[in-house]
Structure 1
Amino acid sequence: MIQGIFFARFLPQQGTRVVHQSPPGCIVSEPGVDKPRLFDFETMAEYIIPRQAFCNRYVTICDPDDRYRILGHPVCIQDEKYERNEFMFNFCIVIGVGVDKIPYEAVVRRLASTFTEMEIQNQYLSLEGGSKSQDRRSIAALLEIIKEDLNNYNECMIPVDDATTINMKLFPIYKHPPPVKSWHVPIAKMKFAEIIDDTWDLTMKKVIKEIDGIKDVRRIAHDADVALDLTKIALQHLLYYDSILMIDLFLFGNIYAPTPSINDFVSDKDGMQDECANYVYINGPRLSNFYLCRLFTSLCTSRTLKEWIKLHLDQNFPVLNYVDVRRLIQFGVIKGLIYRVNKYAVSSQYLASLVTGQSAKIDRGDVLQKYIDGRHCFDQITVEQNMGDAKIMEQLRQFQKGDVEILYR
């Protein structure tokens, strides 16, 4: 969010001065305005209008208290018509030091280029208030509109006069998403059916149609009749725009355990218990929220979901009659209430062969040899080799006795 915007110029007799600012009094004091300034302008003046070597380029400065960042693009126009043969000015935007400055860079550059062109054409800045500027919008009014429109709408389109319009837009900058693995399961964060249209990419439309929160990436590629690599690219594109999220493949052999955030659920922070109940209950009367807390807190690192269900059945609580277990686990993972405990296979013989540089195959290593270095979880093996957990363990037993260890983390 823009905290302030101002126009500064270098006056030959007075030095660097703020000519206009919005909101009033945010940078320098104004008559009739009693409000604290964002920073001490006098200590920053030499950086607002710097020496010529730093002009005509994008500049960012932090105030001495490290609370605000000033974004500017100081301009120096050299011409004999100006006193000292040059005209120096800067349109600056002030944002919080913790705000991402990248989206605002294009705005600052556009302000500098637009007003430079207007100054070269008709001295819009240097002759402000003259007879030629009567039919134009004032700089003070422009700054106010730019700040309000960018803060409220992330864009602005302001006619200055019959020939010039200031048109700017803030584009959000997203972090590059993590790689999409074939054993991940995408979950939609919006209703794609309501926004998709005929202009969308055909591959993207086919992939989106298969996203149901159950299918893994490999199965989505198969059912959509799209190459796996193209499916991953499409899903990564959706991840980039925060339209989906990725979770682990759901199997009843999975292990989950609570995180410290389970305290927020037990204390019903932000009505989380009712939100969960509306998402997971399927049949019969809705049980009290106590049972939901009981279900989450009974998960542990030494118990698979299958064993967890049996535990509650032995306690006369038929979980499957009331709760969709898959949705319960998804809710817990998405909210950060529980985490997945993955299984990894580690072969000391295979690791030794990697250390020594010997690539010879291990006896009875078969197709699982490349997965037993402790870096490949069972989900990956399940998806890539079409093996269930029991089949994987059967294959691992064919290795030399005592060679393979199973790690949980």
Structure 2
Amino acid sequence: MQVSTNNYYEECGREGQIRCIFLSEFHATAGCKISCQVPADYVSKEVFDAINVYIIPKPHLQRCILTVNAMDIKIVGYPVGIENQQKYARNAFLFNLCFVCDSWARSVQYEPVVKKLSEYLIMMEEESCFLSKEGDHKLKLQKIFETVIKDLNEKKVTTIVEGDTTIYLKIVIHKPDPPVVKDHMVPLLLKDFKNTPLDKWDLTTQQILPYINGINHIARISAEADVETNLVKSCVQNLAYYGVVHLLPILKYSNVYMCTQHLKSLIKIPSLSHACRKYVALNPDKTLPSIQKVFQFYASMTHGVTLRAICQRLCPQNYNIDERKLVIFGLQHKFIRCIHKYPVFTGSVPSGRQKMYTGLSSFDEICCKTGLSPSDIEKDIDKDTNVTVIWK
């Protein structure tokens, strides 16, 4: 069995290829076994014996999608039991068609395909004992698996023709609902789309694209591009849905950031390290900043320490590091997260600006709505004994 060498982790959201397809059966005398596998021996006998209780499960789990993540592989299956006292030795034929992926890979997109292909095999078995009959059926099944794994990995779609029966399989990627875009959010155009000619975009995107730089928030883009704010929000929401832009918080030197568990990827993945050093360089023509210095800046980000304080202590520009790009890259790759401030009115009856201090709106959101600077909001809160601030 091959083991993935990628430095990814489960729930990282990355999609991986189908590494193997196998059919498992419960034999009347031999018990649970793999009767057909492509490529051969990808899932070893030792691994299969350790997890086969989840491959051919109890009857109440039949005809349900089951995913098993163990032994460095992820298996997506659809266990089936076909009852027939006359045809089968134990009154039923139990099998499970399984797709195998890397343990870190997102596999939900394969579930409808596994179910549809399993139902196709159920029909073939009920009509002609395609799976349970001895003979050349397993060779035909192997060729089907070879076609499926090749076509789905390369083209995301395949067609299977067996006798008079034809089945079409297609991998459909289900995207989550588009994010809610607010006035204080900052869109950043991802590098894969930076060289796209302007005339390839729709008219609204063409108008606002020059102002999308990872620094300007929605309200500022609306003002500078002279486009109605709700129209900018709709446009940016659409771009975010299709993975064209990434939404970030407003970058301010008074912000507080904290490093996350994903920061270790910066050291573990060489290609990511190089991309980071190249992106955060203040002057690309000079020697790129060392990954040790970049890591030191990220690791210094913690609760209660502002970006300004970190810059004053570590002097990033002395090491050819642009602190703004450092923050943008860190937020984009989830190395760091921004700790927002939420004012909460704790008195009895709020009045004026106190009505906005609900604990649901951050400083950034309040600043955009009122047009005031963060320092003005700070002064207002410092004077008001009925307002407290929550950091989260």
**Normalising by structure 2, what TM-score?**
0.66
Partner of 1:141: 143
- Aligned residue among 115, 119, 125 for 1:113: 119
Structure 2 counterparts to residues 211-230 of structure 1, below 5 A? 211-221=212-222, 223=225, 225-226=227-228, 228=230
Structure 2 counterparts to residues 141-180 of structure 1, below 5 A? 141-150=143-152, 152-153=153-154, 155-161=156-162, 163-173=164-174, 179-180=180-181
Structure 2 counterparts to residues 243-282 of structure 1, below 5 A? 243-252=244-253, 254-256=254-256, 259=259, 270=270, 272=273, 275-276=276-277, 279-282=280-283
Partner of 1:30: none
Partner of 1:186: 187
- Aligned residue among 346, 353, 356 for 1:351: 346
Give the 3 Å change call, closer, same or farther, for CA 259–143 of structure 1 in structure 2: closer
Structure 2 counterparts to residues 8-407 of structure 1, below 5 A? 19-25=35-41, 36-40=45-49, 44=53, 47=56, 57-60=63-66, 69=75, 71-74=77-80, 76=82, 88=93, 90-95=95-100, 100-118=106-124, 125=131, 129=135, 138-150=140-152, 152-153=153-154, 155-161=156-162, 163-173=164-174, 179-192=180-193, 210-221=211-222, 223=225, 225-226=227-228, 228=230, 231-232=232-233, 234-252=235-253, 254-256=254-256, 259=259, 270=270, 272=273, 275-276=276-277, 279-282=280-283, 289=290, 311=312, 319=317, 324-334=322-332, 339-346=337-344, 350-353=345-348, 360-362=349-351, 366=352, 368-393=353-378, 395-396=380-381, 402-405=385-388
- What is the rounded CA distance, in whole Å, between the counterparts of 2:294 and 2:107 in structure 1? 43
Deviations 1:82-130 (A, max 9, x none): 679x984645105467655522221122213333455567765566758
Give the 3 Å change call, closer, same or farther, for CA 21–181 of structure 1 in structure 2: same
Choose 121-130 or 369-378, whichever is displaced more.
121-130
- What is the rounded CA distance, in whole Å, between the counterparts of 1:65 and 1:318 in structure 2? 43
- What is the rounded CA distance, in whole Å, between the counterparts of 1:369 and 1:158 in structure 2? 63
Q: Which has the higher contact order (CA 8 A, sep 6+)?
A: 2
Deviations 1:58-100 (A, max 9, x none): 34275999976451252638799x679x984645105467655
- What is the rounded CA distance, in whole Å, between the counterparts of 1:62 and 1:408 in structure 2? 39
- What is the rounded CA distance, in whole Å, between the counterparts of 2:76 and 2:376 in structure 1? 61
- What is the rounded CA distance, in whole Å, between the counterparts of 2:83 and 2:51 in structure 1? 24
Q: CA RMSD in A?
A: 5.4
Aligned-residue offset at 1:383: 0.9
Aligned-residue offset at 1:386: 1.2
Aligned-residue offset at 1:275: 3.9
Question: Per the alignment, in what secondary structure is the counterpart of residue 108 of structure 1?
Answer: helix
Deviations 1:141-175 (A, max 9, x none): 2123323444x437352443575444323334555
Give the 3 Å change call, closer, same or farther, for CA 145–338 of structure 1 in structure 2: closer
2:372 alignment partner AA: M
Aligned-residue offset at 1:249: 0.9
* Gap runs ≥5 in structure 1: 28-34, 354-359
- What is the rounded CA distance, in whole Å, between the counterparts of 1:266 and 1:8 in structure 2? 40
Give the 3 Å change call, closer, same or farther, for CA 70–376 of structure 1 in structure 2: closer
Question: Per the alignment, in what secondary structure is the counterpart of residue 183 of structure 1?
Answer: coil
- What is the rounded CA distance, in whole Å, between the counterparts of 1:158 and 1:280 in structure 2? 49
Partner of 1:31: none
Deviations 1:323-378 (A, max 9, x none): 655324323444556554544444xxx4131xxxxxx444xxx2x21233444322
2:172 alignment partner AA: F
> Is residue 7 of structure 1 aligned with residue 2 of structure 2?
no
- What is the rounded CA distance, in whole Å, between the counterparts of 1:376 and 1:128 in structure 2? 68
Give the 3 Å change call, closer, same or farther, for CA 198–15 of structure 1 in structure 2: farther
Question: Per the alignment, in what secondary structure is the counterpart of residue 47 of structure 2?
Answer: coil
Partner of 2:5: none
Over alpha carbons, which structure has the higher Rg?
1
**Partners of 1:91 and 1:111 within 8 A in 2:** no
* Gap runs ≥5 in structure 2: 1-16
**Partners of 2:204 and 2:235 within 8 A in 1:** yes
- What is the rounded CA distance, in whole Å, between the counterparts of 2:174 and 2:160 in structure 1? 27
**Normalising by structure 1, what TM-score?**
0.64
Deviations 1:282-340 (A, max 9, x none): 4996686598688778878777666777x58xx9x8959x7655324323444556554
- Residue correspondences, number: 371
Question: Per the alignment, in what secondary structure is the counterpart of residue 252 of structure 2?
Answer: coil
- What is the rounded CA distance, in whole Å, between the counterparts of 1:268 and 1:120 in structure 2? 51
